[in-house]
């Protein structure tokens, strides 16, 4: 949406951690954590959810896309550092109302871009209506279903390698 670009600077300037607290109550974050934990009982994947209120203004001026920032966060949170290369990061850039899913190569090879993009668009649709927590929960449920299909738990109990608690950057 080209008309939104001139306003990006102002949205990032105005968005902060208070906006995250308005979008996600403590109870919402607990429900998201539970959705992640429940799903990981059905598959071998490791899911993380991170929300960032806004980018530093210098990065906005350099036109850093949300996808590039999601890749950085994937590395910073060490989502890639799992035994089976099965980490999945759900990254929400609140100021832009954009969600990106970054999957480790072990999972991405099986699921593919089209499935991740479809989940992102459905989540963003909920965000546009101001239903952030519901959008994230629904997205996590969809991701868990994809992982259960492509990376099912094979009976052995796997370690929970990544924290289930949502990360607020």
Domains and CATH numbers, the chain: 2-168 (3.10.310.50)
Query: What's the pLDDT band for 64 if we cut at 50, 70, 90?
Result: confident
Per-residue confidence (pLDDT) for residue 5, from 0 to 100:
63
Locate 61 and state its tokens. Answer: 């001026």
How many alpha carbons lie under 13 Å from residue 17 in its C-beta half-sphere?
Answer: 3
Angle, helices 113-128 vs 132-150, to 10°: value is: 160
pLDDT tens sequence across 75-86: 999 998 888 888
Per-residue confidence (pLDDT) for residue 1, from 0 to 100:
41
Closest CA to 152 of 84, 102, 90, 91: 84
Angle, helices 26-40 vs 132-150, to 10°: value is: 10
Per-residue confidence (pLDDT) for residue 71, from 0 to 100:
94
Query: What's the pLDDT band for 14 if we cut at 50, 70, 90?
Result: confident
Sign of CA dihedral 123, 104, 67, 35: positive
Question: What DSSP element (H or E) covers 92?
Answer: strand 87-93
131, pLDDT greater than 50: yes
- Percent of residues, the chain, with pLDDT higher than 90: 62
CB 139 within 8 A of CB 89: no
Query: What's the pLDDT band for 166 if we cut at 50, 70, 90?
Result: very high
């Amino acid at each position: 949406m080209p008309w939104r670009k001139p306003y990006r600077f102002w949205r990032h300037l105005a968005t902060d951690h208070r906006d995250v607290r308005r979008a996600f109550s403590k109870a919402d974050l607990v429900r998201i954590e539970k959705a992640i934990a429940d799903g990981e009982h059905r598959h071998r994947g490791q899911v993380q959810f991170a929300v960032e209120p806004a980018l530093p203004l210098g990065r906005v001026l350099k036109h850093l896309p949300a996808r590039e920032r999601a890749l950085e966060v994937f590395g910073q949170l060490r989502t890639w550092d799992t035994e089976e290369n099965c980490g999945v990061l759900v990254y929400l850039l609140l100021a832009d109302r954009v969600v990106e899913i970054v999957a480790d190569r072990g999972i991405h090879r099986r699921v593919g871009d089209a499935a991740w993009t479809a989940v992102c668009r459905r989540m963003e649709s909920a965000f546009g209506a101001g239903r952030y927590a519901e959008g994230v929960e629904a997205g996590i449920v969809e991701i868990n279903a994809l992982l259960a299909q492509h990376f099912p738990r094979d009976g052995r109990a796997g370690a929970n390698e990544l924290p289930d608690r949502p990360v607020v950057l």
